[in-house]
A and B are shown apart, each in its own frame.
Chain A
Amino acid sequence: MSVTRRAAIHAFGLAAPAIAHAQAEAIRIGEINSYTSQPAFLAPYRNAWALALDEVNAAGGIHGRRLETIFRDDAGRPEDAVRHAGELISNERVHLLAGGFLSNVGLALGDFANQNRRLFVASEPLTDALVWARGNPFTFRLRPSTYMQCAMLVEEAAKLPARRWATVAPNYEYGQSAVRWFKELLTRAVPGTSFVAEQFPALGRIDAGATVQALAGANPEAIFNVTFGADLTNFVRQGSTRGLFERRRVVSMLTGEPEYLDPLGDEAPENWIVSGYPAADINNPHHSRFRAAYTARFREAPKLGSVVAYDTVTAITTMLKAAGSTGTDAMVQTMRGLKFPTAFGENEVEFRAIDHQSTLGAYIGRTALRGNRGVMVDWRYADGRAYLPSDEVVRTLRPQG
């Protein structure tokens, strides 16, 4: 990030009144994310964002106007994110806001967008509240939500013979919601299912040995896992050493994403049912082109965050071209029901008008070892459209009006 002269001037509060905007002035996106607190996930995200942006501008921008992005680091704190949002709008004169990795940052930005009547395209946050309980007219979310990913996994879990389940999830909203939905949906799909143990280790501080032992003590037939990152690694190590996963199936959220699978190396668990992104094996032309472009530029395979960033830029670009204006009302109207292609190369994605959730899906498959690293096998693309509740239910979940 370099300090522009403009930023330096604004930094001291000496900004002159808005300079007359030239006709070909760039369209600016204010992007706020937890770059320093979640670098492992957001570095590939930012790479792909830059890639997408360059491609848009190389192809002539938006009706001749350049697309620019101003990045800000919220350090994982919602209050910092809200301050940046204010600064981006009043000083940097951005036309719309995007980003958010943590759910609470996403919610804070969504509420800010609502209050200030600005468009906010949430890329990563998973919480259902963002589009349902606390949804608002100005906020749209790209990634499949906690509910959607749970519904995808429940479909597979219901096919297993297991009836006694245990759950392990990080002790915060994402983990709690995932467990709640999983229990509710699975019990509905398979009556007679019982849940014999729940563990809620603190995020990033799992006491893996004790947690594994507590789960084993309840002797479940299958386990639903929501931990990720460092917690997942520690859980897997202790679990495989102590034989927790033997003769037990594990259904696991997000574990197939390269962000979480790669660090496990040759200790990646086998035969878990996971949601994720088998980057190396999706060979449709659109995805292959994306993967080749990304790999050529950054010398590593794209991660799921890369797809999320790329698709976010694609969605924004598609919207801007269709809206033909950078007025918030026009942009919001165009976003509702907007259809755009995804880097997955699968079905077109739509931002649903009913709840502003995109229909982007995820890949569901099993984990396996190939060489000395974990991969997903037997995967299929689960289109998000098929895993959302009916419109009547959504209307009860989201404030109407």
Chain B
Amino acid sequence: MTQILVQSLSGLASAASLFLVAAGLTVIFGVTRIVNFAHGSLYMLGAYIAYSLVTWLPRGHFPFWGGVLAAALAVGLIGVVVEVLVLRRIYKAPELFQLLATFGVVLVVQDVALAVWGAQDLLGPRAPGLRGAVDVMGERFPLYDLVLIAIGGAILLLLWLLFQRSRFGVLVRAATADREMLGALGVNQRRLFTGVFFLGSALAGLAGALQLPRESVNLHMDMAIISEAFVVVVVGGLGSLPGAALAALLIGQMQAFGIVLFPRITLVLVFLVMAVVLVLRPYGLMGRANAAAIVLPPEPPLRALSPKGRAVALAALLLAIALPPFLGDYALVVLSELAIAVLFAASLHFIMGPGGMASFGHAAYFGAGAYAAALLVKHFAAPMELGLLAAPFAAGLLGLVFGWFCVRLSGVYAAMLTLAFAQIAWSTAFQWVEVTGGDNGILGVWPSAWAVPKLAYAYLSLALCLGGALLLRRAIFAPLGYAMRAQRDSPLRAEAIGIDAFRVRWLAFAIAAGFAGLAGAVFAFGKGSVFPTAMAIPRSVDALLMVLLGGVQTVMGPLIGALAYTGLHEQLLRVTQFWRAALGAIIIGLVLFFPRGLAGMGPRA
């Protein structure tokens, strides 16, 4: 009994800090519709700045809490800077495009933090007077965690008062409900957005600063918190503050009791919760349908390439075919990787662009293909050809299963459900050691003898990947592609003419998964080994970046995005230690100057 009580108090303490982060994220999303990937970075900065202030100031109650508050305010200001310099310029850009910019910010902040605070974990001082523990029915519970629970409750109350009783709060709620209407009523949206960004960032900073007495400050804090914060926000319902509070409570308690009952479930628990909630309640616990529906003007119809464009594309293709014999071994490897990236990006683009569904978990299908091929080789000693053949079907099958749930949802909810499934797939690969080898992966997945020479393998990858990408392109202009675009732009009219939107989306999802799986299999044989990283979040993010960078609503977008992103990544990784900051800065620059993506800068093809 005592155990249960103390364990639930532990859960409450985690819930309190989760809530602070999630509250900021949900308010920012509600008003600006920005999926702020950089929220975790702001949290990390809060912790680092608080560390610097608190260790620099003399010890005592006032300097400690003053330092924490000052850190929160400082992070709020950093948030404003990011908003004014970057995000404000791209509010009109397509949905999710801001995600790209915030990801650029994440990369830059990582290197800045490394440069300023160094690589070592920093252990901040504990809160003065709160080092000890209180006796809870014979068990000890840290005093500071009790204070944290109280702070979480107090912030919830303050935010509730702010939103219910102040003009700012009314405007925030109005903007969350209907941004266009608020604009039509003459409210200065710029000031409102900046204000909201300040509030949300300061909350993230506060949450980070408050962790100082609990954990060490380190460079992995940003990524550790952001996925959980997203889960809380989505489970609670996007833009809903009470929802975030409820979800934080739920996740905190699940975490606390889950590890007692199933100690090995830690990797996937929060994502399991999210998947269950989203399947049962498509808009989260307290979200409303209209909060997620983003009214976009229908996209103008896609046109096939002009004769001139066709000539350029053909020339590029011929070049890709003619060039390999003149390249060195390493250049051939890079060429294969580019081809894989192109197919991977094209498969994601297939559902994102014409399909109108975002996926944050596309790596699951890439990884499924890679693992299908590798498992065949490992357990059945299958030749490479069989692996390549089976991979798209395995991944497509997985796409059918996961897609059946995901395509019912829309917008960010659908994207987050794909993420949840991807994490479930990833943790399966990670923990099912007997079959997948766990994180030690599957080794010895090398190509058949004829494809071992780099030149042969480069041609094989080119043929499969460019062939796959061309097939996908063909599908966009086939009846399926028209149906996809119809249900995206006008669900009602599409239904009226007899298009079954669910089936179209489901089929598209599975096709995209299949082609991602093919890319994964080519990848596996190119690398000779498969690890769970093949289906981890960073790979999904890579795909998303490539598609967004290239431009979602263009047919050539994924191709150009994949080439640009992979090329940049490969070059920067080799030439500079600060490749993350460089890549981040370039991404931000591209977002600012080409808000329709790289392929969108010319006449639309």
**Number of contact residues on A: which range applies?**
35 or more
**Option from A40, A90, A200 in Cβ contact (under 8 Å) with B330:** A90
The chain A residue sitting closest to B331, CB to CB, is A13
- Structural contact, A217 and B3, CB atoms closer than 8 A: yes
Asked if B386 is an interface residue, CB under 8 A from chain A, the answer is no
Instruction: Say yes or no for B382: interface residue by CB 8 A criterion.
Output: no
Q: How long is the Cα–Cα vector from A11 to B574 in the complex, in angstroms?
A: 9
CB–CB A134/B333 < 8 A: no
Q: How far is the CA of A103 from the CA of B114 in the complex (A)?
A: 24
From A39, A75, A79, A233, B216 is in contact (CB under 8 Å) with A233
Residues of B408-438 contacting chain A, CB below 8 A: 430-431, 433, 438
Q: Which residues of B contact A216 (CB under 8 A)?
A: 139
Determine whether the beta carbon of B266 is less than 8 Å from that of A202.
yes
A210 vs B263: C-alpha distance in the bound complex, in angstroms? 11
Known: A72-B574, A83-B337, A242-B133. A214 touches B441 (CB 8 A): no
CB neighbours (8 Å) of A10 from chain B are: 328, 330
Q: Which of A20-28, A151-159, A171-179, A310-318 has 4 or more CB atoms under 8 Å from chain B?
A: A171-179
Pairwise interchain contact B441-A107, C-beta atoms closer than 8 A: yes
Of the candidates A75, A87, A216, the one having the most CB atoms from chain B within 10 angstroms of its own CB is A87
B330 and A204 contact, CB distance less than 8 A: no
Give the most central of B6, B440, B441: most A CB within 10 Å: B440
- Contacts A79-B533, A263-B216: A200 and B438 contacting too (C-beta < 8 A)? no
Q: Which residues A188-202 have CB closer than 8 A to chain B?
A: 197-202
Q: Give the chain B neighbours of A176 by CB distance below 8 A.
A: 433, 438
Bound Cα distance A13, B443 (Å): 29
- Can you list, as one digit per residue, whether each of B282-324 has a CB less than 8 Å from chain A (1) or not (0)? 0000000000000000000000000000000000000000000
Q: CA separation between A216 and B263, bound complex, in Å?
A: 14
Known A78-B529, A111-B443, A230-B216: A209·B574 in contact at CB below 8 Å: no
A75 nearest in chain B by CB position = B573
Query: Given contacts A15-B328, A108-B443, A210-B259, are A201 and B266 in contact (CB under 8 A)?
Result: yes
Interface residues of B in 564-581 (CB under 8 A from A): 570-571, 573-577, 579-580
**Distance between B53 CB and nearest chain A CB, rounded to angstroms:** 18
B260 within 8 A of A: yes
CA distance A13 to B327 in the complex (A): 7
Distance (whole angstroms) from the CB of B127 to the closest CB of chain A: 12
Chain B 133-144 interface 0/1 with A at a Cβ cutoff of 8 Å (1 = within): 100000111101
Which B residue's beta carbon lies closest to that of A205? Answer: B224
B449 within 8 A of A: no
Instruction: Say whether B589 faces chain A, with CB atoms less than 8 Å apart.
Output: no
Of B8-16, B229-237, B389-397, B545-553, which stretch is located at the interface?
Answer: B8-16
Which residues from A are CB-within-8-Å of B579?
36, 73
**B146 shortest CB reach to chain A, Å:** 11
B441, closest chain A residue (CB): A104
A207 within 8 A of B: yes
| B440 with A173: CB separation less than 8 A | yes
**Is the beta-carbon distance between A207 and B573 smaller than 8 angstroms?**
no
Is there a chain B Cβ closer than 8 Å to A241's Cβ? yes
B213 to A, closest residue via Cβ: A237
User: A7 → chain B, closest Cβ, in Å?
Assistant: 7
Q: Are B439 and A40 in contact (CB under 8 A)?
A: no
Q: Which residues of B contact A171 (CB under 8 A)?
A: 264, 266-267, 431
**Complex: how many Å from CA A190 to CA B527?**
44
Known: A77-B533, A82-B528, A200-B264. A87 touches B440 (CB 8 A): no
User: In the bound complex, what is the Cα–Cα distance between A242 and B7 (angstroms)?
Assistant: 12
Q: Does A80 contact B (CB under 8 A)?
A: yes
- Closest partner residue, chain A, to B130 (CB atom): A241
**Contact of A56 with B by CB under 8 A:** no
Query: Which of B31-39, B56-64, B117-125, B239-247 touches A?
Result: B117-125
Give the CA-CA distance A263 to B123 in the complex, in Å: 6
Q: Which residues of B contact A238 (CB under 8 A)?
A: 142, 214
Which chain A residue lies CB-closest to B125?
A: A265
- The reply to whether B215 and A209 contact each other, CB–CB distance below 8 Å, is no
Is B325 interfacial (CB 8 A cutoff)?
Answer: no
* Cα-based distance from A104 to B431 in the complex (angstroms): 14
Within 8 A of B (CB), among A36-77: 36, 39-40, 43, 72-73, 75, 77
Counting CB contacts under 8 A, is A275 at the interface? Answer: no
CB of A301 closer than 8 Å to a CB of B: no
Q: Which interface residue of A78, A82, A229 has the most chain B CB atoms within 10 A?
A: A78
Tell me the B196-227 residues at the A interface (CB within 8 Å): 214-216, 218-220, 224
Is A328 an interface residue, CB under 8 A from the partner? Answer: no
The reply to whether the CB of A129 lies closer than 8 angstroms to some CB of chain B is yes
Out of B255, B329, B575, which one reaches A90, CB within 8 Å? B329
Q: Which of B123, B259, B337 touches A207 (beta carbons < 8 Å)?
A: B259
The number of residues on chain B lying at the interface, defined by a beta carbon within 8 Å of a beta carbon of chain A, is: 73
Q: Which residues of B contact A3 (CB under 8 A)?
A: 575
Docked complex Cα distance between A211 and B13 (Å): 13
Across chains A and B, the number of contacting residue pairs, with CB separation under 8 Å, is 208
- When distances are taken between beta carbons in the complex, the residues of chain B under 8 Å from A40 are 119-121, 218
Q: How far is the CA of A172 from the CA of B575 in the complex (A)?
A: 31
A108–B214 contact, CB under 8 A? no
Q: Are A80 and B573 in contact (CB under 8 A)?
A: yes
| A208 interface residue (CB < 8 Å to B) | yes
Contact B577 A104 (CB under 8 A): no
Contacts of B440 in A (CB 8 A): 103-104, 107, 127, 129, 134, 173
- Does A277 belong to the interface (CB within 8 Å)? no
A89→B440 CA distance, assembly (Å): 24
In this assembly, does A243 line the interface, its C-beta being within 8 Å of a C-beta of chain B?
yes
- Cβ contact within 8 Å between A79 and B523: yes
Q: A200-B264, A263-B120 are in contact. Are A230 and B10 (CB under 8 A)?
A: no
In whole angstroms, what is the CA distance A267 to B220 when docked?
Answer: 21
Assess whether A172 is in contact with B438, with CB atoms less than 8 Å apart.
yes
Instruction: Tell me the complex Cα distance, A205–B40, Å.
Output: 14
Query: Considering the chains assembled together, what is the distance between the CA atoms of A84 and B577 in angstroms?
Result: 15
CA distance A91 to B215 in the complex (A): 44
Quote the shortest CB–CB distance from B422 to chain A (angstroms). Answer: 16
Q: Is B123 a contact partner of A233 (Cβ separation < 8 A)?
A: yes
Contact A213 B10 (CB under 8 A): yes
Report how far A72 CA is from B573 CA in the complex, Å. 8
Q: Which residue of the partner chain, among B122, B214, B333, contacts A263 with CB atoms under 8 Å?
A: B122
Contact A7 B575 (CB under 8 A): yes
Residues of B within 8 A of A134 (CB): 440, 443
Contact A87 B574 (CB under 8 A): yes
Considering the complex, give the chain A residue whose CB is closest to the CB of B326: A13
Contact A213 B3 (CB under 8 A): yes
Judging by beta carbons under 8 Å apart, are A209 and B13 in contact? yes
Residue B489, interface by CB 8 Å: no
Q: Does B131 contact A (CB under 8 A)?
A: yes
Interface residues as binary, A90-111 with B (CB distance below 8 Å gives 1, 0 otherwise):
1100000000000110011011
Q: Mark A126-138, 1 if CB is under 8 A from B, else 0.
A: 0101000010000
Once A82-B528, A207-B256 are accepted as A-B contacts, the answer to whether A39 and B119 lie under 8 Å apart by CB is yes
Q: A230-B215, A233-B216 are in contact. Are A112 and B264 (CB under 8 A)?
A: no
Do residues A111 and B529 form an inter-chain contact, with CB atoms below 8 A?
A: yes
Contact for B214 among A39, A80, A237, CB less than 8 A: A237
B142 neighbours in A (Cβ, 8 Å): 209, 238, 241-242
Find out whether the CB atom of A108 lies under 8 angstroms from the CB atom of B527.
yes
Report whether B121 and A263 are in contact in the complex, using a CB–CB cutoff of 8 Å: yes
**Which residues of B sit under 8 angstroms from A200, Cβ to Cβ?**
263-264, 266
Are B140 and A1 touching (Cβ within 8 A)? no
Q: Does A123 have its Cβ within 8 Å of any Cβ on chain B?
A: no
**A337 within 8 A of partner (CB):** no
Contacts A/B (CB < 8 Å), 18 sampled: A3-B575, A10-B328, A13-B331, A78-B533, A83-B337, A84-B574, A86-B330, A87-B333, A104-B533, A127-B440, A176-B433, A200-B266, A207-B256, A213-B3, A214-B260, A229-B121, A229-B218, A233-B216
Q: List the 6 closest A-B pairs by CB distance, nearest first.
A: A39-B119, A90-B329, A13-B331, A209-B10, A233-B216, A210-B256
Taking A83-B570, A208-B215 as known contacts, 7 extra A-B pairs with beta carbons closer than 8 A to each other, sorted by chain A number, are: A13-B328, A91-B328, A205-B266, A213-B260, A237-B126, A238-B214, A241-B131
